[in-house]
């Protein structure tokens, strides 16, 4: 009512619409002792998609700062998509900033943030490394990193995937890809962030190994 008269009032309503992802989140596919439950090609698609998504963000100087399995969402085709940008930050890629605010999730936070509250592009890279280890070897393997030599874990992971692949496809075709992925993961979780690769370097390395794998697959098919 206005001055005794009925009037129409228009109240704008803001609605956020999100894509529904039928695959749920990555956490539901992980195990403590064993590799991720899907087959290798699906696991690799998840890893590669996550790396490409992070590369897209970092190219725009956007840093997620809470990469973890529950924030990796999967569509019907098991393509990974990054969610929950609640604590993301934008800052120059050459800059390291400090904050008094606690952020991230324990187990995925790099040591420089725990000790000095420092944030840099290598923060997300550390979280990525933990996730790749979780996918390829199970959650427990990351916690074994501090007490078991990395080469021993790498050998164990490659052997485990080889045995899984024997029942579905030629393990030789994917052997180098598997070893490349787990070695990338261990470089990502280096305590010294200067030793961690940039996300674009990881994507470039995966692209190179993809080309090599396609070539090897073609040669195998020619023989058959």
User: Out of 66, 124, 159, 192, which one is annotated catalytic?
Assistant: 66
Q: How many CB atoms lie within 10 A of CB 146?
A: 7
Told to judge if 191 belongs to the known catalytic residues of this protein, a careful annotator would answer no
The alpha carbon torsion through 114, 52, 82, 156 (nearest 10 deg) reads -60
Joined tokens for residue 34: 């064993």
Looking up tokens 């190179």 gives: 208
Structure tokens that stand for 132 in this block: 């790749």
* Beta-carbon contacts of residue 73 (< 8 Å; ≥ 6 apart): 21, 23, 24, 25, 26, 80, 81, 82, 83
3-state secondary structure of 74: strand
CA 59, 48, 76, 133 torsion: positive or negative?
negative
Active site residues: 66
């Amino acid at each position: 009512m206005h001055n005794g008269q009925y009037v129409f009032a228009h109240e704008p309503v803001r609605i956020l619409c999100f894509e529904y992802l039928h695959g749920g989140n990555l956490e539901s596919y992980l195990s403590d002792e064993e590799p991720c439950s899907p087959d290798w090609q699906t696991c690799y698609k998840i890893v590669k998609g996550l790396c490409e998504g992070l590369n897209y963000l970092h190219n725009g100087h956007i840093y997620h700062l809470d990469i973890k399995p529950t924030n990796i969402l999967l569509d019907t085709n098991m393509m990974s998509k990054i969610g929950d940008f609640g604590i993301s930050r934008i800052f120059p890629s050459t800059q390291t900033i400090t904050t008094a605010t606690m952020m991230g999730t324990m187990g995925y936070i790099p040591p420089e943030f725990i000790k000095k509250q420092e944030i840099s592009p290598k923060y997300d890279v550390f979280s990525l490394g933990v996730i790749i280890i979780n996918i390829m070897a199970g959650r427990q393997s990351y916690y074994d990193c501090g007490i078991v030599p990395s080469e021993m874990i790498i050998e164990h992971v490659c052997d485990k995937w080889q045995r899984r692949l024997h029942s579905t496809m030629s393990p030789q075709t994917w052997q180098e890809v598997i070893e490349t992925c787990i070695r990338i993961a261990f470089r990502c979780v280096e305590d010294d962030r200067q030793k961690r690769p940039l996300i674009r370097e990881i994507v470039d390395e995966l692209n190179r190994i993809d080309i090599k794998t396609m070539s090897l697959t073609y040669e195998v098919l020619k023989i058959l």
